[in-house]
Amino acid sequence: MHGQLLDLERKTIESLAHAVEGGDVQVLQQFIKQNPWDAVQDQQRAMRGGAMVRELAPTQDAALAGIDQILRVQGRALDEVEGRLRTQRIETPSWGYANSGTRFKVFPQPGVPRTVEEKLADAALVHRLTGVAPSVALHIPWDRVDDWAALRDHAAALGVTIGSINPNLFQDERYKLGSLAHPDAAVRRGAIDHVLECIAIARQTGSRDISLWLADGTNYPGQDDLRDRRRRLAASLETCYAALDPGMRLLVEYKFYEPAFYATDIPDWGAALLLCQKLGPRARVLVDLGHHAQGVNIEQIVATLLDEGRLGGFHFNGRKYGDDDLIVGTTNPLELFLIYCELAAAEEDADPVVAATARSVAYMIDQSHNVEQKIPAMLLSVMNCQAAYARALLVDRAALRRAREASDVVGAHRTLLAAFETDVRPLLAHVRAGLGGAADPLDAYAAGGYQEQIERERVGGSQMSW
């Protein structure tokens, strides 16, 4: 408190520690992280006789200096963290801008896109405001057009690219009993042909990843032979994998239940991994945060797949009970942070396979915004991913390693919490500004008038939805 009342030009952790007799940078840093007072309470303590000392809330520069000091204590530089944040990439889904919701009801909203071009326009705005969302995932047939090269060029003119291509193997009437694992060879052939169509689309749009989720499974014991289904699925996937161009990848997603309720054909990460290992090195596992049973340790799954060189991508979303597809980071921000901790550490792993795997992960959002506005929800999703990655980059890994080597369980845990509890908003505002984005994308969107514009202009026609 004494240091806060001193007449210093800049009040960073370092300057305050040096200005107070006996001051210690590391002790002060730890105190600031742990103390329960907020700035308002500190101001009230500083008031004497109705006179208030200067505003104590830190400026952005001072806040950045505080983060810089945290990194200096670790022997690291702020520029390194900023550089990694500038290269972060989050892919947004075209369907997240359209009308979507739960199995019970989809509530239409004014201003929702009527064409895939309007979806791309909304996604391009999200990228301009955040600086890190340059690609848009497409879902086929929802986003099918006649001229894919023209759509690719249109996206480029907006400042974005076409990202992963997602086949739809769950809405056709033929898929009542499955698609790639269906008992009928003709249905399986039709599903394979659809995946091949999506590979041809990816070839024209310049997309790297085919992102595959199957609803295949059974509802009752005895409905089908479980081993036969697995063999049929593997054979279908082999045909699809063989059609990939060099540089393309097949991302295989899993889900433990729904819409199948007895046995899902790819129920978990282990089943997905085994299939990918059968197919070849360009088949990777895709992790959807909402596709797990309650309490599953997703960060451990991430660590295992990274170690095997088979983590291909994410579908980020938030969940409370099931596959809720809520805004990522809203229900369990600690989990999101811990996932990013595994990824950030793996990017620097001494094993080149692990490091290369981490650096090639596709970070995608997969959400259904039913009651919240589409674009603000997408902005918040991207911002939450930025914040989780920023905090993960602030982890003092040397201190974490020392605590682990000393069997200091609480110390190791507190090292992670110290990073998780750091306010990274000033850092991210600085990074976004450097990328040409907005310090606060949500505030910028609210003030920009885009929502009012699309509500005026997107009248008539059919809104896009599932």
Nearest-angstrom CA–CA distance, 54 and 5: 8
Q: What is the pLDDT of residues 208-239, one digit of tens each?
A: 999 999 999 999 999 999 999 999 999 999 99
Structure tokens at 176: 């009542």
The helix/strand/coil state of 202 is helix
pLDDT confidence bin for 60, thresholds 50/70/90? confident
Answering whether pTM is above 0.85, one says: yes
C-alpha angle 425/430/436, rounded to 5°?
120
Share above pLDDT 70 across residues of the chain, in percent, rounded to a whole number: 87
Whole-number Å distance between alpha carbons of 196 and 200? 6
Pairing of strands 135-140, 263-264: unpaired
Strand partners, 140: 167
Confidence (pLDDT) at 49: 32
Q: Which residues contact 404 (CB under 8 A, 6 or more apart)?
A: 412
Q: Rounded to an integer, what distance in angstroms lies between the CA atom of residue 367 and that of residue 141?
A: 18
Task: State how far the alpha carbon of 24 is from the alpha carbons of 8, 12, 67, in Å.
Answer: 17, 13, 16
Secondary structure (3-state) at 87: coil
CA distances 425 to 61, 126, 338, 430, Å, are 12, 18, 18, 9
The confidence score (pLDDT) of residue 359 equals 98
At residue 127, does pLDDT exceed 70?
Answer: yes
pLDDT value of residue 212: 98
Amino acid letter, 301: I
Whether 366 and 255 have beta carbons less than 8 Å apart is answered as no
Q: Are strands 217-218 and 263-264 parallel, antiparallel or unpaired?
A: antiparallel
Mean pLDDT, residues 287-295: 96
Ranges 104-118, 250-264, 342-356: which has the least confidence: 104-118
Please name the helix (run of DSSP H) or strand (run of DSSP E) that holds residue 283, with its range, or none. strand 283-288
Q: 273, 306 in Cβ contact below 8 A? A: no
Mean per-residue pLDDT over the chain, rounded? 89
Q: At 249, is the secondary structure helix, strand, or coil?
A: strand
Is the pLDDT reported for residue 55 higher than 80?
no
Give the mean model confidence (pLDDT) for residues 103-118.
Answer: 90
Which contiguous run of DSSP H or E holds residue 296?
Answer: none
Question: What is d(CA 179, CA 173) in angstroms, rounded to the nearest whole number?
Answer: 10
Judged by DSSP in three states, 177 sits in helix
Q: How many CA atoms lie within 13 A of 267 on its CB side?
A: 14
Kindly report the CA angle at 440 between 439 and 441, in degrees rounded to 5?
Answer: 110
Indicate the length of the chain as a whole number.
Answer: 466
Beta bridge partners of 353: none
Query: If you average pLDDT over residues 81-92, what whole number do you get?
Result: 98
Is the pLDDT confidence value at 40 over 90? no
Quick count: other Cβ atoms within 10 Å of Cβ 221? 9
Cα separation of 46 and 176, whole Å? 69
In the predicted model, what is the mean pLDDT of residues 39-56?
A: 34
Q: Return the higher-pLDDT residue of 444 and 47.
A: 444
Mean pLDDT for 390-416 is: 98
Task: Look at the block and give the residue holding tokens 């974005």.
Answer: 160
State residue 106's pLDDT score. Answer: 82
User: What was the pLDDT predicted at 263?
Assistant: 98
383-397 pLDDT tens trace: 999 999 999 999 999
pLDDT tens digits, residue range 299-325?
Answer: 999 999 999 999 999 999 999 998 889
Task: Compute the distance between CA of residue 159 and CA of residue 150 in angstroms, rounded to an integer.
Answer: 14
pLDDT of residue 462: 80
* Burial class of residue 414 in the structure, from the number of CB atoms within 10 Å of its CB (0-12 exposed, 13-18 middle, 19+ buried): middle
Strand order of the β-sheet with 249-253 is 92-93, 135-140, 161-167, 209-212, 249-253, 283-288, 311-316, 362-365
pLDDT tens readout for residues 174-189: 999 999 999 999 999 9
What was the pLDDT predicted at 460?
A: 84
